[in-house]
């Protein structure tokens, strides 16, 4: 049971219940999960339903509604990270066979928000909108490496098993040492951790204060990539991520990035 107070928090708590594992909820399940009384819950459900954030059918539970789709459309048109990354994604997909994508980092989630694909049969376990795992893959390491020390240490503690399983260290100290190396190199590489057979290369996209707001990444079939090509890809990803970071750090974009 969650502890929430205030109308805004209660509305967000209801929306926060929906996930890939639980896309549909009955009112009874919501009451049990959130601890709301029936009158309180139905009052907020009506507000969300009238605004289009949730929908329901007779004898069925609640699911997310069309307003979410509308907001997604608006985000695609207005997100400064997507705008700043668009041409770089196109160039990456042109120069390397694979899937180029940019991710947003928020809370403890990493979410693909835009991509370009040049592989004839692309493979991806995490398309737009599906959160990627922390502790696995190049994107995770590229982002976590650039968190402030206290936040980085806390996140490694929370997801230590995932980091250890990925093979970058057997202890917290070893993982932090590897993240320090990635921070120095400004680029991370992972082989087959997120999707078997794929190699991923990622670099952080940073805000003006140096904290990560996301990452630029390209994944491609490992069997089709020579070591020289991998080195070239690492340099390209790092350089383009730095260009995107610089663009977002411009005064007119800082306030909205």
Percentage above 90 pLDDT, the chain: 77
pLDDT at residue 199 above 50?
A: yes
Considering only the C-alpha atoms of the chain, give the largest distance between any 2 of them, rounded to a whole number of Å: 64
Verify that 87 and 59 share a domain, yes or no. no
Q: How would you class 82 by CB atoms within 10 Å of its CB: exposed for 0-12, middle for 13-18, buried for 19 or more?
A: middle
Q: How would you class 251 by CB atoms within 10 Å of its CB: exposed for 0-12, middle for 13-18, buried for 19 or more?
A: exposed
Verify that 48 and 85 share a domain, yes or no. no
Q: Which domain holds residue 227?
A: 79-254
**Mind listing the pLDDT tens digit for each residue in 83-140?**
999 999 999 999 999 999 999 999 889 999 999 998 777 777 678 888 888 999 999 9
Is the Cβ–Cβ distance between 153 and 176 less than 8 Å? yes
The pTM of the full predicted model, rounded to 2 decimals, is: 0.86
pLDDT at residue 253 above 70?
A: no
- Residue 3 binned pLDDT confidence (cut-offs 50, 70, 90): low
- Domain end, chosen from 23, 42, 68, is at 68
Specify which residues 198 forms β-bridges with: 221
Mean pLDDT of the chain: 91
Q: Which of 60, 49, 14 shows the shortest CA–CA distance to 34?
A: 14
Terminal-residue alpha carbon distance, the chain: 34
Is the Cβ–Cβ distance between 93 and 72 less than 8 Å? no
Is the Cβ–Cβ distance between 14 and 47 less than 8 Å? no
- Domain end, chosen from 37, 68, 99, is at 68
**Mind listing the pLDDT tens digit for each residue in 186-196?**
999 999 888 88
- Domain end, chosen from 68, 93, 112, is at 68
């Amino acid at each position: 049971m969650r502890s929430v107070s205030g109308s805004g928090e209660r509305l967000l708590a209801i929306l926060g219940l929906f996930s890939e594992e639980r896309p549909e909820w009955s009112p009874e399940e919501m009451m049990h999960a959130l601890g709301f009384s029936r009158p309180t819950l139905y009052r907020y459900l009506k507000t969300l339903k009238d605004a289009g954030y949730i929908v329901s059918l007779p004898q069925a539970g609640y699911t997310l509604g069309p307003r979410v789709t509308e907001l997604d459309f608006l985000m695609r048109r207005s997100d400064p990270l997507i705008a700043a990354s668009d041409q770089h994604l196109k160039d990456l997909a042109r120069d390397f066979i694979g899937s180029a994508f940019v991710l947003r980092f928020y809370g403890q989630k990493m979410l693909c928000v835009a991509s370009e694909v040049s592989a004839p049969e692309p493979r991806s376990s995490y398309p737009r909108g599906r959160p990627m795992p922390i502790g696995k893959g190049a994107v995770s390491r590229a982002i976590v490496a650039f968190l402030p020390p206290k936040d980085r240490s806390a996140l490694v503690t929370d997801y230590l098993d995932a980091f250890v399983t990925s093979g970058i260290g057997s202890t917290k100290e070893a993982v932090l040492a590897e993240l320090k190396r990635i921070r120095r190199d400004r680029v991370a590489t992972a082989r087959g951790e997120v999707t078997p057979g794929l190699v991923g290369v990622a670099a952080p996209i940073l805000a003006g204060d140096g904290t990560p707001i996301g990452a630029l990444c390209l994944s491609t079939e490992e069997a089709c990539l020579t070591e020289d090509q991998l080195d070239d890809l690492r340099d390209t990803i790092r350089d383009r991520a730095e260009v995107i970071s610089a663009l977002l750090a411009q005064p007119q974009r800082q306030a909205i990035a």
